[in-house]
Structure 1
Amino acid sequence: MASLLKELPSMSTILAAYASLSAMAMLIRTILNEMIPKPMQRFINTKFSNLVSKYLSSNFTFIIEERWQAVYNETFRAVEVYLPTRIGPSTDKLLLGSNDINNPTSPPKRKIPSDCKIIDEFEGITLEWTLHVKESEKYYIPDKKTYHLTCKKRVRELVEQKYFPHIAKTAQTILSKREKLNIYTYNQDRSRWESAVFKHPARFETLAMEPELKQFIMDDLDSFVGRKDFFENVGRAWKRGYLLFGPPGTGKSSLVAAIANYLNYNVYDLQFQSVRNDADLRRILTSTTNRSILLIEDIDCSTKISKDRGKLKNDREKEGEVGRTDRPSAIDPGVTLSGLLNFIDGLWSSCGNERIIIFTTNHKEKLDPALLRPGRMDVHIHMGYCTPTGFRKLATTYLGIKDDKLFGPIDDLIKVVEVTPAEVAQQLMIKSDDPEAALHGLITYLNTKKDKVGEDVIQQEEEAKDENNKNDGNQTKEPDESKTGCIYLS
């Protein structure tokens, strides 16, 4: 034994040999890095890792990407909801944050950061999750996110057949019991939806709307939600389109919030100005989730969509552009009417279930007739001026009273004065602590508005009369048939 120990090299000899080998390895690595291009290095590393994994490793890895072909990966969504519930002592790091601006003191939400390991147990099997994020080199292309699930090769089939369905069911249960809704807006620079907590107080019970109309909307929503089999049997996508039209301040946004709260659906608020083209629109809309509301407000503000195709043709004829082949069919960049129609009622409309699409506009007459037909905008709801019934609902909500001696005069004024529910609510809020003073203030406001409308009518009549007289005195000028002097009050 003693002779054997004497034959062993000394510690200094071992260290010297290790230093020589390390220096040689570093030299070889430096030479290879200088001589072999980066893509070739990555290829060699990948092949070497695969070789080691194939013959030496007993593990198997499932990879779940954020997008699956042309649409969002529902398995990825389920994992994203499920994993924060499996955070345990072995988790080495976490993302914490809150987007609830209404309750800054609420506990922060948990999210999984990049390269964080989550250990889960299922039927006696140990499973390891990791989130990998590859940053995009181009600002308009989102980062690529993938979840990696590592397990033993021998349990691969059990994980695939039982564990993933377990994740999907658990995620569905979590989403169905969610207490908070989110509202999403599309970030064009980062090419993704970003959310905030949606806490809007509007309910059908508080809307200043005719009871029959409210009941019709709720019945229609209930019918839509409960008719999944019907839509499948008749071969139609499970979606519903609503058009809310009327003057500003008539409660269109409040109705959208009431629908979201009634159905417990998240809201995706899309501004067409943030969409580059039709292809971008398809990618954006296929990234929305099922059981959600897609809101497109003030659709008439998009010239390409609000003008019908006949008007566009006439405009081009006036500009002398007919026959030109060097000009594309789209008048301006961005989303085209054809692109929007193809999504809401074309083949792409089947990429998702239980979705409600709501359009709002102040000017229904500006919309292309192709947008208005059933299948695209199934239900047209006119949001008009305040009615006596609407006023009484607002008085109950804001003042806490259901009747008063001043209700009669206010009803009479509301019947002849065009006033929006928003205007009435604002007047009642000024002195909501004194109902009598608030009602008197509303009467004063309505009388002032009535007098102003009368003055405007008189002024318009005088201007029209002066214009007619001017045309009559000018013998060389042809009469302008568009100025007839008639006053049309809506």
Structure 2
Amino acid sequence: MASSFSTKIPSLSAIFSIYTSLSAFTILFKTILHEIIPVKIRDFIISKFTDYFSSYFNSNFTFIIEEQSDYVTNQTFRAAQVYLPTLLPRISTRSLLVSSSDLKNPLAKPKFGIPVKAKIIDDFEGIRLEWTLLSAKDNDNPYQSKQKRYFHLSCKKEFRDKIMSDYFTYIAKSSVKILTHKENLNIYNYNPDCQRWESAIFQHHTTFETLAMEPELKNTLIRDLDAFSNGKDFFKTVGRAWKRGYLLYGPPGTGKSSLVAAIANHMNYSIYDLQIQSVQDDAMLRQILTSTENRSILLIEDLDCSGADASCRNEHKDEGENGKTKQNKKKKKDTKVPLSGLLNFVDGLWSSCVEERIIVFTTNHKEKLDPALLRPGRMDVHILMDYCTPTVFKKLAALYLEIKKHDLFEPIKKMLLEVKATPAEITEKLMVSKNPDVTLKGLVEFLESKKMTKESVDTETKEAEA
């Protein structure tokens, strides 16, 4: 019996011979695979074998959620970005992103975020889900230097349909609820190097309550904003994009930026501050604006300096006409984004990409803007931010000096009707001292000086005309 068993065990030489044969076959197979079979066919065969064995032995299913979807930001990716930080206590990795963008309060509680390759566990109706944030270079677009970010969401195969039908809807609704009740607003600036909006906490304290503005105009604007906020069904019924355009025009220092801050605080909207002069072309403009969020303010300041003036209409005139061709070509080079590209995001087809958006343009010279931009339906409301009036002065005095009456109020009001002084200039004088007598006396002297300068200029003008 023992001799029979020993005869069944292969000898060491036989085992070595089999190993040598297998090694030779493996080397031959690799040679054939690498030198005879083309690379694409080889990769295809390997991927098929990998998919087969992974599907056979792996019971999980993975959803891939990329940051970009077609031309715009993937809204499912954005919803996950908002929702997942609420699950940070369930993070399974030993790292965490820590950041603070509150420039006014260095002691503010930091925000915690999800680092790349971190895994977060979620539980949805008894289903265990695993989220992972990943990042890789976008090889499909060699001209872009930014990293391509995406989430992996893994679950058991049998729950795939449940996740597709219910879970993604759940995180979308959760993200909307979180954004609606957010505590801090953000102000965004576009970074062309990484091709992404970068944010800081927006803590401008101007509200409509503290804004020095004519009461009738202020109340009209508040009613208009509230009607817009509650007008989703109306805009859908009439077939218009849910947006509102405001043009703030007037001299520098008349409170245009403060009004934007008051609108943001009233609506609880973050601000996307776009420097239109830095945009290279229409394609870049579309990419920038379609990556903004719903319920936001798009702010484009100093529109008259961005190439949206009436001279844009002369860009396509024939050479030699009135001797202006060279000048127009120069303007065309300076104006990177044509007016048509800007108008497409005001009332064109692309304006419907983002819902509940307020577009605010500011300019110091409304008369220089192209009439096409001022046409009804593009800028819905035109608001003149004018020089300081007696009513605005009284509001400023109440805010800065905490007084409602003073003997110098009447002389100041009369001079404000005779000379042009911006609210910014008046505010500067009101901040000189907390003593109303000292401050208002200095303001009177300032206005008298402006009045004398104005009279001197008028006299010189008359003499020149004569």
Q: Same fold (TM over 0.5)?
A: yes
Quick one: which of 234, 250, 253 aligns to 2:254? 250
455 and 321 in structure 1: CA distance in 2 versus 1, 3 angstrom threshold: closer
Letter in 2 for 1:242: Y
5 Å matches for 1:125-164?
A: 125-136=127-138, 138=142, 140-164=144-168
TM-score, structure 1 length as denominator? Answer: 0.84
Q: How many angstroms does 1:101 deviate by?
A: 0.7
Cα separation, 2, equivalents of 1:246 and 1:295: 16
441 and 312 in structure 1: CA distance in 2 versus 1, 3 angstrom threshold: farther
SS in structure 1 opposite 2:159?
A: helix
1:385 aligns with 2:387: yes
315 and 457 in structure 1: CA distance in 2 versus 1, 3 angstrom threshold: farther
Quick one: which of 93, 100, 103 aligns to 1:101? 103
320 and 450 in structure 1: CA distance in 2 versus 1, 3 angstrom threshold: closer
Match of 1:226 in 2: 230
Cα separation, 1, equivalents of 2:348 and 2:394: 43
Q: How many angstroms does 1:282 deviate by?
A: 1.0
SS in structure 1 opposite 2:194?
A: coil
Letter in 1 for 2:360: I
Identical columns (%): 55
1:270 aligns with 2:270: no
Q: How many angstroms does 1:88 deviate by?
A: 2.4
The answer to whether the 8 A contact 1:78-1:168 is kept is yes
Cα separation, 2, equivalents of 1:422 and 1:27: 84
The answer to whether the 8 A contact 2:306-2:335 is kept is no
Q: Deviations over 1:237-265 (max 9, x none)?
A: 00010000000000000000000000000
The answer to whether the 8 A contact 2:90-2:121 is kept is no
1:190 aligns with 2:198: no
Gaps of 5+ in 2: 11-18
1:85 aligns with 2:91: no
Q: How many angstroms does 1:109 deviate by?
A: 1.1
Letter in 1 for 2:240: R
Q: How many angstroms does 1:307 deviate by?
A: 2.6
Cα separation, 2, equivalents of 1:373 and 1:425: 35
Letter in 2 for 1:191: Q
Gaps of 5+ in 1: 10-17, 466-490
5 Å matches for 1:280-429?
A: 280-309=284-313, 313=317, 317-319=321-323, 321=325, 330-332=332-334, 334-429=336-431
TM-score, structure 2 length as denominator? Answer: 0.88
Q: How many residues align?
A: 452
The answer to whether the 8 A contact 2:307-2:339 is kept is no
SS in structure 2 opposite 1:103?
A: coil
1:212 aligns with 2:216: yes
Cα separation, 1, equivalents of 2:320 and 2:258: 39
The answer to whether the 8 A contact 2:248-2:256 is kept is yes
Q: How many angstroms does 1:111 deviate by?
A: 1.6
Q: How many angstroms does 1:112 deviate by?
A: 1.3
Cα separation, 2, equivalents of 1:460 and 1:30: 94
Match of 1:118 in 2: 120
Q: How many angstroms does 1:291 deviate by?
A: 0.4
Q: How many angstroms does 1:221 deviate by?
A: 0.2
SS in structure 1 opposite 2:227?
A: helix
Q: Deviations over 1:143-166 (max 9, x none)?
A: 211111000010111111221111
The answer to whether the 8 A contact 1:300-1:306 is kept is no
